Amino acid sequence: MEDGPVLSAVCKTVVANAVTTILKAVGEDPQREGLLKTPDRVARAYDELLIGYSIDPLTVLNDALFDVTYSEMVIVNDIDFYSLCEHHMLPFIGKAHVAYIPDKKVVGLSKIPRIVEVFARRLQIQERMTRQIADTIEELLNPLGVAVVIDGMHMCMAMRGVKKSNARMRTSALLGTFAHNSKTRSEFMEHIGPISRVQL
């Protein structure tokens, strides 16, 4: 195995060996055809799924800031994300909705989904991820306000434990005018609408 963006070749071997141990522990035969390459595949998958650890979120935005005279709400909604719950290392997936009100600077459109991706591709909890996205945008743009709402479906709740497959979680982080001005906050919430189970 080769060094990856997150895991070195040595670390991938450690992960692969751990997967082999798990397979044996549950009564499987790691040498059967279907599982023969599974440990290596899992190691490579984690290198991809956790790539957010290797990216500085501030550098994602730094080269895409533009001076613009614009002070209306900018919204990027329905940003797909895939993350891993840090409690069970099972996926949680959903959509992020991000808005900000510029104060002299705007950021390139594609950078907002990139910020979501950076924080999603780590071991996470949805509440922290929501706040990290908002704080990063605020730090770099210094806007009049930032709003982040995330709708998530958690496999750790759907597949195990309470087994509630229809439950969805919505978290929000509201900064600046979104926190202090109910009209601005309501406008944003109207734009993103209710949680859609079809979309998740």
Residue 127 falls in the annotated catalytic set: no
CA atoms of 71 and 62, how far apart (whole Å): 20
Residue 124 falls in the annotated catalytic set: no
Residue 179: the pLDDT is 97
How far is the CA of 57 from the CAs of 62, 63, 112, 132, in angstroms?
9, 12, 10, 10
Residue 87 falls in the annotated catalytic set: yes
Residue 197: the pLDDT is 58
Residue 114: the pLDDT is 95
> For 196, which DSSP code?
-
How far is the CA of 199 from the CAs of 97, 154, 179, in angstroms?
13, 14, 27
DSSP labels, 103-159: SSEEE-TTHHHHHHHHHHSSEE-HHHHHHHHHHHHHHHH--SEEEEEEEEEEHHHHT
> Which candidate in 28, 88, 138, 187 is catalytic?
88
Using DSSP's 3-state secondary structure scheme, residue 9 falls into helix
CA atoms of 127 and 5, how far apart (whole Å): 26
CA atoms of 151 and 170, how far apart (whole Å): 5
Find the length of the chain: 200
Residue 190 falls in the annotated catalytic set: no
> Which candidate in 85, 97, 124, 132 is catalytic?
85
> Which candidate in 87, 127, 139, 180 is catalytic?
87
Residue 86 falls in the annotated catalytic set: yes
Closest CA to 196 of 83, 94, 120: 94
> Which candidate in 117, 124, 132, 154 is catalytic?
154
> Which candidate in 48, 86, 127, 139 is catalytic?
86
Residue 85 falls in the annotated catalytic set: yes
> Which candidate in 11, 28, 138, 156 is catalytic?
156
Per-residue pLDDT of the chain (200 residues; tens, 9 = 90+): 899 999 999 999 999 999 999 999 999 999 999 999 999 999 999 999 999 999 998 888 777 889 988 889 999 999 999 999 999 999 999 999 999 999 989 999 899 999 999 999 999 999 999 999 999 999 999 999 999 999 999 999 989 888 888 889 999 999 999 999 999 999 999 999 988 655 55
> Which candidate in 97, 117, 126, 132 is catalytic?
126
Residue 195: the pLDDT is 80
* Helix-helix angle 126-141:111-120, to 10 degrees: 140
Residue 198: the pLDDT is 53
Residue 191 falls in the annotated catalytic set: no
